[in-house]
């Protein structure tokens, strides 16, 4: 065999047409290619496409959840008659339902991060359906409170949070518009469900009505299935391409004793920010194989030498990236996920040159413990993950801020009275000899006013001249003043005026909540502030309606409050 033939043979055996690179990829397939697949970037919201399907699904889930919660007052007189409990205890049915679906948020966050929004929302639909259906067999009011209130509320919480989060995940530039559409399901739900519940109550009694409602809630499972998670963007790794480039060089020197020398120069090693192939100033690899009749052995020996140079660092980098990239796909991994306004109003968005740069700023940093020990992080118990999420979501140092304390107290007091008109207006209408049909119409009016005002407030708050906090305060003063006059509303017409004003007030309050938090605390602390506020609102919802029921409804509690103020003045 001639020297040229030996050279050609050895060149084919060792290199071929990029053979060494191909062999490197093959020999490292279990690590290199697997890590390339795991390496990904946080997905960029498409701002359309399937996002509109997600928006419609979120709209329908808001329709079902708030539609049921807002229309509890339609069933309230019938629950009073059937179970024979006091108004205060019977009102616990509605307050536990509303409070449970707000306070369960931390648990839902952990489940959504671990399993994804779609399975959590599907499970929530099933849980809520079971609670609403099984409560019709409750032998007493206590069991009814547990099944209708606690179980049903927990199911609604599992449905509602993923619905809101998914809209924020699919939209960035159009987030304010998409979120506005999704949350309008709340008002439309109250508008449609109130007369529907009144009809079912008279046609099928409360048991048949709840059976039908539980069937409607089960359809939330269908809408939840449309919550398709965004796929991780997997950039085509340049590592394989570059490795082919740097190993396809014909710089093979074959000596007479059948040894070979392969030389790499600086230009062969290319530094890439995403794929850590590091530049080497002077690298020379000598591999003497005096007896390499088995070509696979020579190939393996040479590929292992390359691995020792590049593979170790590559595997370490990818191992760290794998943990981080799994974190990028968590639904609550973004700091701005609860922000419902236009992102153009956020300084971080204005300062970012590209969407990718803004997304990187909004990513929540993974815990250092997870970065250091991915195996420990992945095997952490659900209880530990719940505590970890709780500590990251509820930054109690915010309680040291007077600004946050004032706004948090405002939210607590607002939610204390938020559900009272929904729960007691039909009963008040009955006391005023207003028909049950007109009593249900009052709830519908709150719903439709709520919808229109959400859209209007959303548009106004995006204007540069608008101050969200001032709009919120004016709305709450109007709603509060209108509620103070409830004892003096003796006819259907005056109650209609009240429901319009009240519906507009609560719509502004809910719509501007996250926007105000960003203005007061900054986008960096939105998740922490939002978590604390919603937790306080959930606790407030538990106690508002029972206290109102104890004092014999909406009109009586307002009269008591007004008289207590007038006593020191007289």
SS in 3 state form for 122-152?
A: HHHHHHHHHHHHHHHHCCCHHHHHHHHHHHH
What are the residue ranges spanned by the domains of the chain? Answer: 3-30+234-314, 50-231+394-565
274: which residues sit within 8 A by CB, 6+ positions away? 39, 235, 237, 238
Find residue 253's DSSP bridge partners.
261
DSSP, collapsed to helix, strand or coil, labels residue 285 as strand
Q: What is the pLDDT of residue 458?
A: 82
Name the strands in the sheet holding 252-254, side by side, starting at the edge strand that comes first in the sequence.
Answer: 252-254, 260-264, 283-287
d(CA 499, CA 84): 29
Closest CA to 287 of 269, 307, 313: 307
Q: Rounded distance, CA 176 to CA 459, Å?
A: 9
Q: What is the model's pLDDT at position 352?
A: 62
Task: Please list the ranges in the chain whose pLDDT falls under 50.
Answer: 2-3, 6-38, 236-254, 256-258, 260-328, 367-379, 559-570
Which ranges in 419-553 belong to alpha helices (H)? Answer: 420-431, 436-461, 468-484, 492-511, 513-521, 526-550
Looking at residue 56, what is its pLDDT? 94
Tell me the helices (H) and strands (E) count for the chain, helix number first.
Answer: 29, 3
Long-range pairs for 254-259: beta carbons < 8 A, 24 or more residues apart: 254/3, 254/6, 254/7, 254/10, 254/11, 256/3, 257/290, 258/6, 258/10, 258/289, 258/290, 258/291, 258/292, 259/288, 259/289, 259/290
Residue length, the chain?
Answer: 570
* Token pair belonging to 60: 């329908």
Query: Does residue 194 sit in helix, strand or coil?
Result: helix
Q: 216-248 pLDDT, tens per residue?
A: 999 999 999 999 887 766 554 444 444 444 444
CATH H-level, domain 50-231+394-565: superfamily: MFS general substrate transporter like domains (1.20.1250.20)
CA 198 to chain centre: 33
Task: Compute how many other C-beta atoms are within 10 angstroms of the C-beta atom of residue 232.
Answer: 16
Neighbours of 103 (CB within 10 A): 20
Please give the Cα distance from 93 to 88 (Å, whole number).
10
Question: Which of 35, 43, 36 has the alpha carbon at shortest distance from 360?
Answer: 43
Instruction: Mention every residue, 6+ apart, whose C-beta is less than 8 A from residue 467.
Output: none
Burial of 430 (0-12, 13-18, 19+ CB in 10 A): middle
């Amino acid at each position: 065999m001639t020297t040229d033939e030996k050279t050609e043979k050895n060149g084919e055996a060792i290199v071929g047409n990029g053979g060494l690179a191909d062999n490197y990829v093959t020999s490292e397939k279990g690590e290199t290619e697997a890590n390339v697949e795991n390496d990904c970037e946080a997905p960029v919201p498409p701002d359309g496409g399937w996002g509109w399907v997600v928006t419609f699904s979120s709209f329908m889930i808001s329709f079902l959840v708030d539609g049921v919660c807002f229309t509890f007052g339609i069933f309230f007189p019938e629950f009073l008659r059937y179970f024979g409990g006091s108004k205060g205890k019977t009102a616990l049915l509605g307050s536990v339902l509303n409070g449970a679906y707000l306070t369960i948020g931390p648990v839902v966050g952990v489940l959504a991060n671990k399993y994804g929004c779609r399975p959590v929302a599907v499970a929530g639909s099933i849980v809520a359906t079971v609670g609403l259906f099984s409560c019709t067999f409750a032998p007493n009011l206590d069991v009814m409170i547990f099944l209708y209130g606690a179980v049903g509320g927990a199911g609604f919480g599992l449905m509602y949070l993923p619905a809101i989060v998914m809209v924020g995940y699919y939209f960035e530039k159009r987030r304010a518009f998409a979120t506005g559409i999704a949350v309008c399901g709340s008002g439309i739900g109250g508008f449609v469900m109130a007369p529907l519940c009144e009809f079912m109550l008279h046609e099928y009694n409360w048991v048949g009505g709840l059976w039908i409602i539980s069937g409607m809630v089960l359809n939330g499972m269908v809408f939840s299935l449309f919550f398709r998670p965004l796929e991780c963007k997997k950039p085509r790794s340049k590592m394989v391409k570059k490795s082919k480039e740097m190993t396809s060089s014909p710089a093979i020197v074959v000596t007479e004793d059948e040894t070979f020398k392969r030389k790499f120069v600086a230009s062969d090693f290319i530094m890439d920010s995403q794929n850590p192939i590091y530049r080497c100033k002077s690298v020379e690899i000598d591999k003497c194989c005096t007896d390499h009749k088995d070509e696979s052995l020579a190939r393996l020996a040479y590929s292992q030498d390359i691995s020792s140079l590049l593979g170790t660092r590559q595997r370490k980098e990818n191992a760290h990236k794998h943990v981080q990239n799994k974190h990028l796909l968590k639904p609550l991994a973004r700091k701005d996920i609860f922000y419902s306004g236009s992102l153009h109003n956020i300084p971080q968005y204005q300062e970012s040159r590209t969407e990718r740069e803004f997304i990187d700023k909004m990513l929540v940093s993974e815990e250092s413990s997870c970065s250091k020990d991915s195996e420990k992080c992945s095997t952490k118990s659900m209880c530990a993950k719940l505590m970890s999420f709780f500590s990251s979501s509820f930054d109690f140092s915010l309680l040291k801020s007077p600004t946050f304390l004032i706004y948090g107290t405002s939210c607590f007091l607002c939610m204390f009275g938020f559900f009272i008109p929904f729960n007691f207006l039909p009963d008040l209408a009955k006391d005023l000899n207003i028909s049950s049909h007109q009593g249900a119409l009052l709830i519908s009016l709150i719903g439709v006013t709520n919808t229109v005002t959400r859209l209007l407030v959303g548009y106004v708050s995006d204007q540069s001249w608008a101050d969200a906090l001032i709009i919120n305060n004016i709305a709450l003063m109007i709603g509060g003043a209108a509620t103070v006059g409830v004892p003096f509303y003796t006819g259907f017409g005056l109650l209609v005026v009240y429901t319009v004003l009240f519906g507009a007030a609560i719509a502004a309050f809910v719509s501007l909540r996250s926007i105000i938090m960003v203005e007061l605390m900054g986008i960096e602390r939105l998740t922490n502030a939002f978590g604390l506020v919603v937790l306080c609102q959930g606790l407030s919802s538990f106690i508002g309606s029972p206290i109102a029921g104890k004092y014999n409804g909406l009109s009586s509690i307002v009269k008591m409050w007004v008289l207590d103020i007038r006593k020191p003045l007289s």
